[in-house]
Amino acid sequence: MKTINVAALALNIALYIAVGYIFYTLIPIKFEQVRFWPPVIVPAVFAVVFGPLVGGIGAAVGIFVSDAMFGNNLFLSLLAGVTSNFVAFYLIGYIAKKKIRWLVPVVAYGAATALFVWMGYSYLGLDFWTKTAFIGVAAASYIIFLIPVVVLRNSKWRSFEVGSIIGMLLGAAIIGITVPVFTQFFTPAATPFTAPVAIATFFFTFFTEIPFVIILGPPIILAIYRAFPNLKHKEDPSEVK
């Protein structure tokens, strides 16, 4: 990592902690152990401007320090928060700099969604209404994925949008699995791990975070490039005009 990237990493960590602390102090909303967390926009921007390592490591360290400040369980933070944040924002920074044909992610994610729905529908522990809700939410997640990819298929922001959705999906999946497992095995009032709990945790995480990344990301990144054009590389997902 270059000196500027090391400085950016420190700034990413500091901003992620500060913005997260201010936001959650003002709006302390959470589901189970997962906080409502719009500050994800901070490491997403750093991941694109300064690279996937700056975004991923900064998010992982930032969320751990943030959890410590709020008195959250640090083992849970390592298990769920650190891993999910690193994976999500590393992928955002990595994919954003790739030239992606729009048809490939649409077909691949469509196939993955179909498989996901089939697995949920076939899961014997789910009742009819849970299965129906699961299918509806899975279909909605695909639509959310599909719209920016198709609408922006000729845009330089396409790779950023695809990377954001893939990264946040995988990050939310890690949280959706690890948080219920932790709750069952490592808390006094153990809640049994069930598919509905995992699904609810997954979708709460994804749907409350992804809008802030895909909507606020492009204008913020573009503003940074216009203010500091030397930060822009030829493979970045926008052009300074």
Among candidate residues 96, 75, 84, 36, the one with its CA nearest the CA of residue 56: 84
Per-residue pLDDT, averaged over 188-204, amounts to 76
pLDDT at res. 1: 63
pLDDT at res. 131: 72
The per-residue DSSP string of 168-199 comes to HHHHHHHHHHHHHHHHHHHSSSPPPP-HHHHH
Residue 140 has pLDDT above 60, yes or no: yes
3-state secondary structure of 70: coil
What whole-number distance in Å separates Cα of residue 164 and Cα of residue 91?
8
Q: How does pLDDT run across 4-44, given as a tens digit for each residue?
A: 899 999 999 999 999 999 999 998 888 878 899 999 999 99
> Is residue 187 very low, low, confident or very high in pLDDT (cuts 50, 70, 90)?
confident
pLDDT at res. 55: 96
- First vs last Cα of the chain: how many Å apart? 28
What whole-number distance in Å separates Cα of residue 149 and Cα of residue 147?
6
pLDDT at res. 241: 41
pLDDT at res. 52: 96
Per-residue pLDDT, averaged over 92-118, amounts to 78
Q: How far is CA 168 from CA 2, 10, 49, 126, in A?
A: 27, 22, 18, 25
Rg (CA), the chain: 18
What whole-number distance in Å separates Cα of residue 222 and Cα of residue 238?
7
Residue 83 has pLDDT above 70, yes or no: yes
> Is residue 92 very low, low, confident or very high in pLDDT (cuts 50, 70, 90)?
very high
Residue 74 has pLDDT above 60, yes or no: yes
Residue 18 region by backbone torsions, left for phi larger than 0, else alpha for psi between -120 and 50, else beta: alpha
**Tally of CB atoms within 10 A around 77:** 21
Q: Which CATH class is domain 3-231?
A: mainly alpha
Q: Which residue has the higher pLDDT, 67 or 110?
A: 67
What whole-number distance in Å separates Cα of residue 26 and Cα of residue 37?
12
Q: Where are the domains of the chain?
A: 3-231
Average pLDDT, the chain: 84
